[in-house]
Amino acid sequence: MPSSLIAALIIVAILVAVAAYGAGYYSMKRAAAGRARLAQADTDRLLEEARTRQKELILEAKEEAVRIKSVAEQDARERRAEVQRREQRLQQREELIERKGDSLEKRDRALTAKEQEMALAYEELERLSETQRREIERISGLTAVEAKAELVTAIEDDASREAARRVREIEAQTKEEASRRARWIVAQAIQRCAAETTVETTQSSVAIPNEEMKGRIIGKEGRNIRALEQATGVDLIIDDTPEAVVLSSFDPVRREVARVSLLKLIVDGRIHPTRIEEVVTKSRAEVEQQLREEGEKAAYEAGVHGLHPELIRTVGRLKFRYSYGQNQLTHSLEVSFLAAAMASEMGADVNICRRAGFLHDVGKAVDHEVDGPHAIIGAELARKFSIPTRVVHAIQAHHFEVEPQTVEAFLVAAADAISAARPGARRETVQNYIKRLEALEDVALGFKGVDKAYALQAGREVRVMVKPEQVDEDDAWRLNRDIVKRIEDTLDYPGQIKVTVIRETRVVDYAK
C-alpha cells in the first residue's frame, strides 16, 4: 500500500477519534449539568424542610420551657407552703416547750420546798424515834439490839412451828396414801410368792455305821484324814459324838464335795490316800454337775433365760450358801418373784426386775474369792457376761452401795428387804439380837429431851418417852423425824423400824 494512503487513513482515524471525544465530552457535560440541577433542587428542598423543622422545634422548646417553668413555680409554691407549715409547727413546739419549761421550773421549786419540809420532818421523826427508843429501853430494861434479837427469835420459833405443823399435815396425807398403796402392792407380791426357810450352817454332819469307821477314816498315823482334808480343803472333826463325823468349812461347795466323798468312801469301804483322791475327783465333778443343774432349774423357775452357762453354774453355787438361816438360791428366786410382781403392779419393766432379782446376790457365790461388797462383785460378774446395763445397775444398787437411779433398782432393793424381813426368813444369834436392840435404844436416848426409849417387836419398833416440860407437840414431831434420820444413817437393819414419840403430861394432887 502506498504511504500516502496510509497517511490519509491515519488522519481520518485521528479525526474520527477527535470527533468522538468531542461528542462524548459534550454529552458528559450535559449530564453533569442535569445532575447539578437535581442536586441543587434537593438541597433547596432539604433546606426548606430544615427551616420548617427548626421552627417547629423552637416552638416545642418554648412550650416545654413554659411547662417546666409552670411546674417549677407550682413546686416552689408547695415547698414554700410546707416550709411555712413546718415553721408554724416549730413555733408551736417552742411555745409548748417554753410552757413546759415554766411548769417544770415551778414543779422543781415545789419539790425542793417539799424536800426541805420532808428533811425537817425526818429530822423531827428521828429525834422523836430516838426519844421513844430511849424511853422504851428505860421501861423494858433491854437495848434495841437485845429487843431485836428476842423479836427475831420469837418470829423464827413461830415460823418454825407453823412450818412444822404444815409439813406434818402434808406428810401425814402423803404417807397415808403412799402407805395404803404400798401395802396393797407388797401384799399382792407376797401373796404370789411362797418360799421355804432353811437353817444356816457352816458344818455338815455325816452319819457312819459304827465307831470302828472313825478309826478307818483317820487311818494309820492320821494319813487318811490328812489326805481327805488336803483333797477337799475341809476340816474333819472326829470327836466323841456317837456315829457321826463333822465336816467344817466356810465354803459350802467344798463341804458338799467332802460330804459326798466321805459317803462314797464309807459305802465302798476302801479308804486309803489313793482311793480318797479318786473319789474326791469324781465327787467334785458330780457336785459341779449338780451346781449347773440347780442353776438351770432355778433360772427356769424364775423365768430368766439366755444366761451364760458359767453364770448359771455360779448361781447354782448359791444352793449351798446361807445367810441368817436363809438359803440364798431360794432367796434369789423369792426376790425375783417379788420384784416382778411389784413391777407388774407399778407398770415398771417386769423382765428387768425378774432378771435383776434373780441375779442380785450372785456375788455371794464368789465373795470369799474376791474382795469387796457382794453387790458390787455381783454387778461386775453380770457385766462380764453381757447382762444389760439396767439389770447390772439394779444389782449393784440393791444395798445402796450405789445410789439407785431407776424404778427397777428401787423395786429390787425393796423385794430384797421384804424377802429378808418376812417372818421366819432369817434367824440371828441372841448376842447379835440384843446388840441390835441396844443400839436402837441408844440412838433414841442420844437426843435432848428424851427420858426413856424401848425397842419392841424384835426391833421393828422403838417407843420414845420425852420430857413434856422440855419437848412440846411440834418439837416432838421434829424429834421423831430426827430419830428416824439417825437410825437410817447409823444402823443396819432388815425391813423398816417404826419410831413412836410419846409426850405425856400428868397432873397429880392429893386430897387431904
Q: What percent of the chain has pLDDT over 90?
A: 4
What the block records as the C-alpha cell of 18 is: 477527535
pLDDT score, position 463 = 92
Q: How far apart are CA 213 and CA 430, in angstroms?
A: 37
The class (CATH top level) of 430-503 is: alpha beta
Report the b/e string of 394-411 with b at 16+ CB within 10 A.
bbbbbbeebebebbbbbb
Q: How far apart are CA 106 and CA 77, in angstroms?
A: 43
Q: How far apart are CA 287 and CA 252, in angstroms?
A: 11
According to the per-residue pLDDT averaged within each range, which of 36-40, 271-275, 449-453 is highest? 449-453
What is the per-residue pLDDT across 83-120, written as a single tens digit (0 to 9) for each?
A: 998 888 888 888 888 888 888 888 888 888 888 888 88
Report the b/e string of 223-249 with b at 16+ CB within 10 A.
ebbebbbebbebebeeeeeeeebebeb
pLDDT score, position 324 = 64
Amino acid residing at 261? S
pLDDT score, position 403 = 87
CA of 150: how far to CAs of 132, 137, 144, 198, 472, in Å?
Answer: 19, 14, 10, 64, 20
Q: How far apart are CA 132 and CA 200, in angstroms?
A: 81
Residue 421: pLDDT band by 50, 70, 90 thresholds? low
Q: Which of 23-32, 99-108, 337-346, 380-389 has the lowest mean pLDDT?
A: 23-32
Averaged pLDDT score across all residues of the chain: 81
3-state secondary structure of 2: coil
The torsion of the CA quartet 255, 256, 259, 263, rounded to 10 degrees, works out to -160
Residue 315: is its pLDDT beyond 50?
yes
Closest CA to 390 of 351, 352, 343: 352
pLDDT score, position 198 = 40
pLDDT score, position 249 = 78
Mean pLDDT value of segment 352-359: 90
Instruction: Enumerate the domain spans of the chain.
Output: 142-174, 203-421, 430-503
Mean pLDDT value of segment 178-182: 65
Tell me which fold the domain 203-421 belongs to. Answer: Hypothetical protein af1432 (1.10.3210)
Q: Which residue has the higher pLDDT, 79 or 371?
A: 79
What is the per-residue pLDDT across 229-261, written as a single tens digit (0 to 9) for each?
A: 888 888 888 877 777 888 887 777 888 888 888
User: CB–CB of 312/318 below 8 Å?
Assistant: no
